[in-house]
């Protein structure tokens, strides 16, 4: 009698139940139990250098296009805003709002140029540049009316591509380390939002002060003097111009209460990735 393989492989008591499947070639089951680690989801994978360069290149091109068109829109608002109110939003102070649009568009253009020189792993700088693109993209919808319908979406798309170049874990690690500085920047963004609805002169000073307050805690490791100057610009002028209001005063006190100890103790130290 010859020795052959049984068409069925039965599992002994306590063994894996998949061995009861019908045997294939050589007496082995068609499917074997896999014990490998589950694959990572796309959101947790590390961005490769090629994908990061692609996102950065697209973001730079979109941001430069949006910033250039924004400067044109600001010049048109300042020069002809009262003649074409349907396109410029029928503003009471087209000159001041046009100049403010030019300044914010120039800020976006500067952020776009900085994107080109970003290191491969720089979540903190990338997040800061994204904020520098997002603020003009959102605010200028209220300064030049319909003329911002093209530059605004371009800058918003540039912001999305800029953020997509880094993984979510890198951003979360940076926020956990520098959350106090981020809180000061949030207060600066709130000042910018309050300033937009104010009269023209107060709006310009408030926006400049809010941008200074956003940048102040992040520049402390490089230049303490510049950081203190930006903090003063961000708090004093807008609060003085709106002395009758409670919210700007509360915002200024909160910003000082958080930023002053942060800069004095030097707790904010950006960590370079390994």
What's the pLDDT at 43? 43
Distance CA 61, CA 127 (A): 18
- B/e letters for 138-148, b = 16+ CB within 10 Å, e = fewer, are bbbbbbbbebb
Token reading at 38: 């589950």
DSSP state of 29: B
Q: Distance of CA 265 to CAs 221, 224, 231, Å?
A: 11, 11, 16
What's the pLDDT at 177? 77
Distance CA 127, CA 124 (A): 5
Condensed to tens digits (0 to 9), the pLDDT of residues 64-79 reads 999 999 999 999 999 9
In which region does residue 5 sit, left (phi positive, over 0), alpha (psi from -120 to 50) or beta (all else)?
Answer: beta
Distance CA 153, CA 173 (A): 29
What's the pLDDT at 139? 86
**Entry pTM:** 0.67
Domain ranges of the chain: 48-171, 178-267
What's the pLDDT at 159? 92
Distance CA 154, CA 152 (A): 5
What's the pLDDT at 121? 64
What's the pLDDT at 56? 82
What's the pLDDT at 272? 47
- Residues of the chain short of pLDDT 50, as ranges, are 1-2, 5-7, 9, 11, 18-21, 23-24, 41-46, 267-268, 270-274
């Amino acid at each position: 009698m010859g020795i052959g393989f049984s068409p069925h492989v039965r599992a002994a008591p306590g063994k894996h139940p998949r061995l009861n499947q019908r045997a294939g070639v050589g007496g082995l089951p068609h499917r074997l139990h896999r014990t490998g680690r589950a694959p990572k989801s796309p959101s947790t994978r590390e961005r490769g250098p090629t994908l990061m360069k692609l996102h950065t290149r697209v973001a730079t091109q979109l941001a430069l296009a949006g910033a250039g068109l924004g400067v044109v829109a600001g010049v048109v608002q300042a020069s002809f805003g009262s003649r074409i109110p349907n396109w410029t939003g029928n503003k009471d102070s087209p000159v001041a709002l046009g100049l403010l649009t030019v300044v914010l568009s120039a800020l976006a253009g500067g952020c776009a140029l900085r994107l080109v020189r970003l290191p491969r792993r720089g979540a903190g700088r990338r997040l800061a540049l994204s904020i520098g693109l997002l603020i003009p993209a959102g605010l200028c919808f209220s300064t030049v009316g319909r003329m911002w319908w093209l530059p605004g979406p371009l800058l918003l798309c540039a912001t999305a591509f800029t953020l997509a170049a880094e993984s979510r874990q890198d951003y979360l690690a940076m926020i956990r380390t520098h959350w106090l500085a981020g809180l000061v920047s949030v207060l600066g963004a709130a000042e910018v939002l309050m300033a937009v609805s104010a009269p023209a002169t107060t709006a310009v000073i408030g926006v400049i002060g809010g941008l200074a307050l956003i940048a102040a805690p992040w520049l402390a490791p490089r230049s303490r003097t510049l950081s203190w100057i930006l903090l003063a610009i961000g708090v004093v002028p807008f609060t003085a111009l709106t002395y009758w209001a409670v919210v700007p005063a509360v915002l200024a006190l909160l910003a000082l209460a958080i930023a002053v100890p942060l800069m004095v103790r030097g707790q904010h130290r950006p960590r370079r990735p390994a």
